[in-house]
Structures are given as structure tokens and as C-alpha cells.
Structure 1
Amino acid sequence: MKTEFTFGDIVSVAGYENRIFYVDAWREVKATDEWGVSEYVEFELTDAINGEFLDAYETDLRLVCRKQFAEDYLLEYDETNYPEPSGGAFHIADIFPTLPSVESVAELGKGLKKVASDMSKKKAQEVSKEIDGLLDEYNDNMRLYETFGDAEYKTKADVVLAKLRRWANRCRN
């Protein structure tokens, strides 16, 4: 199957307004059921700003920028009011359908301080692990580029470098 998108392209996705994603991979799917055979392409995407992962169908994608212009596009991209990732959302009303007593709220407050401290440590470890992974990916792609001279490895390394720059900008702010 031929697709109009390629690795490193920046796309928008229906239902994820005001967000942009890198095309990381795609797979050709051939499904057979009692009504027949259907073939389609699924894409694996990474949010270009916050790194959230997403799977989407080709019909839901719209090209924003080709991979060779992606780094320049992102350097000029205005991240103001960029939507937060949707994966970790929860609502207090789901946890407390009725209002708790004053005493139980006080006890929760004590527990939440400890949980917040533990969560911030865990978040720092996750961020460190993600940055280490990006650095490894960048180094691997640059070694492959230097060894084989294939421009696709350089493009992948540039995409990773852009992600690292965004991490650095977020850490400064």
C-alpha cells in the first residue's frame, strides 16, 4: 500500500485540534471478517511538542510539514496555549461522588503531600529516562548516518534533536 506520509513528517489528526504529531511508523493492516476483507494503514505518531504517543488511521491525518522542513517549522512554532496531553486526565468527581467529611479531607491532605513528593521524584526519573533514551536514539542515528551516509538517519537524528531542544526549553521555563 502506498501512503502520502513518511517518517518524520508533521501531521495534524482529526479530533486532536491544535496539536501536531510526528509520523514515527505505519503498518498495513489486512483484516478479514464475515463480510469480507478490508485493507487500511495505521500510523504511530508522537506529539511534536509534549511527546505523547497516538495511533491513528491515514484518513484522519492531514499533512502539516514534510520531514525535511520539520526542524525549521518547529523552531518557529508558537507553543503558547498548546493543549496538555490527554492521557493522564482524571476527574475528582469520579473519585469522590459525594463530599467527604472535614476530618477525612484533613487526613487526605497529609497523604497527598507524601504522594506529591513521591510523584515528583518519579516524574523526574521518567523525564531523565526519556531524555537518556532520546540521546541514545540521536547517537545511534548519527553513527548510522556517519557509517552508511543514508540521509534518512540524519533526518531521524534531526527530529530527535528537535525533541531534545523542546525538552531543554521546557526545563528552562
Structure 2
Amino acid sequence: MNKPEYTFTDLVHIAGYGSRIFKIESYRVEQCFSPSEEWTDIVYDLIDTETGAYVECDEEDLRLAGGSSVRKPMARELSGQARKDRAKRVDALLDEMNDAKVMVEMFPEDGEFKAKVEYLTIKLAEVTAEWT
């Protein structure tokens, strides 16, 4: 099995996303098979530190943010940035939740919007649990 090159909370850039910075939330190791070969992929789940958007990415498209010429942030700076990131994620989830609730009121027979509210409730609980 391949050992992941990056780990949880690493700040990284993704090829094709310019200078945007993402935080690694989790990863999975996928064992793939075909009749003529087999290989292992490592897929990372990332969160955009500015927008809170979720992205999946293969390992080969990542590189650590802040090269050797850039001073690494102190622990206090990272914790402050982490609080800001979480607050942005909560705000985005709440906005999405409010929109979904409006759609439930407008279309009560459509279970998709109710499921979206339930999903967002779970996601909000996960994000706010990180603060405890």
C-alpha cells in the first residue's frame, strides 16, 4: 500500500486552482484492479480555506502551501485562521440551510429538499463539534 504524502490539516495548493489554499480534511486509499493491471490511488478530501468549498483531489495534483522561502505560520496564527475558516464554513452551511428550508416550504412534497436540510444539519453539527 502506498503511504500518503500528505496528512490531516496540511495546507496545500491544487493544480489548476491558482494560489488558492486548501486544508486536508481526510483521505482514502483506493485499490484499483483491471484484467491487466492493478494500482493504488490516494484521494484527498479538501476544504477551500477562503470559501469553505469541498474538493476531492488525487495526490499527484497537490503540493504543500508555502515553500521553503515562506515563513511558516506560528501556532497562534494557524488557530486564528482555523477559527475564521470554520466560521466561514458555518456561515455558508447556514445560508445553504436557509435556502433549502425555503424550498421545503415552497415544495413540501419534494423529499429532496427535506433530505438536504437533514444533511446540512449533520454537516453543521460536525463543523461546530470541531470547536469543542
| Fold shared per TM-score above 0.5 | yes
8 Å contact kept, 1:10–1:70: no
8 Å contact kept, 1:42–1:58: yes
- Runs of 5+ consecutive residues of structure 2 not aligned to the other structure: 67-71, 82-95, 103-116
Q: Name which one, 1 or 2, has greater alpha-carbon Rg.
A: 1
Task: Find out whether 1:136 has 2:129 as its counterpart.
Answer: yes
Q: Quick one: percent identity of the two aligned structures?
A: 25
Give the aligned CA root-mean-square deviation in angstroms: 3.5
Question: What is the match of residue 24 of structure 1?
Answer: 25
User: SS state of the match for residue 59, structure 1?
Assistant: helix
Task: Point out the structure with the larger helix share.
Answer: 1
The 5 A counterparts of 1:22-171 are: 22-64=23-65, 69=74, 72=77, 121-122=98-99, 133-139=126-132
8 Å contact kept, 1:8–1:70: no
How far apart, in 1, do the equivalents of 2:41 and 2:57 lie? 11
CA displacement at 1:131 relative to structure 2: 5.7
How far apart, in 2, do the equivalents of 1:12 and 1:71 lie? 22
How far apart, in 2, do the equivalents of 1:122 and 1:52 lie? 17
How far apart, in 1, do the equivalents of 2:27 and 2:97 lie? 34
TM-score normalized with structure 1 length: 0.44
Describe the shift of the 1:2–1:74 C-alpha distance in structure 2 as closer, same or farther (beyond 3 A). Answer: same
Task: Find out whether 1:15 has 2:19 as its counterpart.
Answer: no
- Runs of 5+ consecutive residues of structure 1 not aligned to the other structure: 77-118, 140-173
Which runs of 4 or more aligned residues in structure 1 lie more than 6 Å from their structure 2 counterparts after TM superposition?
A: 123-126
TM-score normalized with structure 2 length: 0.56
8 Å contact kept, 1:44–1:53: yes
CA displacement at 1:61 relative to structure 2: 0.2
CA displacement at 1:137 relative to structure 2: 2.6
